[in-house]
Amino acid sequence: MGERFDRREHERWTSEMCCKVRCSRTGRYLGALTSDLSPGGAMLSVQTPTAIRAGQLVEIALKTDGRPIVFRNELVPARVVRCSSVLDRHQVVAVQFESLQEDLKAPSRAAAA
């Protein structure tokens, strides 16, 4: 079989973190869980009654500092690049951040041990 090429520009890491997705079309906030992150994007499992579509603009509220509230100016604009069908009110969505999130760092191996 041929080689599999990874088109991603940035290192990504497995990270399960609760977050929110603000749908630009409806203005609603949807609960979500990350499965992986990188400075360039994320893979999310989103709780949604209606399908999010590829190409759609969203804003992601990532809680990386432990605060329970994320302010509107802290939302990360992103574009949906891939998505699954909605199954049992959940949809897997891959997003590309509109700008690099340099402050997102992979957890150190020492901290994980």
In a domain, 47, yes or no: yes
In a domain, 73, yes or no: yes
More confident residue, 99 or 113: 99
- Domain containing residue 74: CATH number: 2.40.10.220
More confident residue, 16 or 104: 16
Give the pLDDT confidence of 4-38 residue by residue, as tens digits: 445 556 677 788 888 999 998 889 999 999 999 99
Inter-residue long-range contacts of 51-54, CB under 8 Å, 24+ positions, other chains counted: 51/83, 51/85, 51/86, 51/91, 52/21, 52/23, 52/80, 52/83, 52/91, 52/93, 53/80, 53/83, 54/80, 54/81, 54/82, 54/83
The percent of residues in the chain predicted with pLDDT above 70, rounded, is: 81
In a domain, 4, yes or no: no
Q: Find the mean pLDDT for residues 35-64.
A: 92
In a domain, 33, yes or no: yes
Q: Which domain holds residue 60?
A: 18-100
Q: Find the mean pLDDT for residues 36-60.
A: 94
Q: pLDDT tier at 80 (50, 70, 90 boundaries)?
A: very high
In a domain, 113, yes or no: no
Into how many domains does the chain fold?
A: 1
In a domain, 55, yes or no: yes
In a domain, 112, yes or no: no
In a domain, 7, yes or no: no
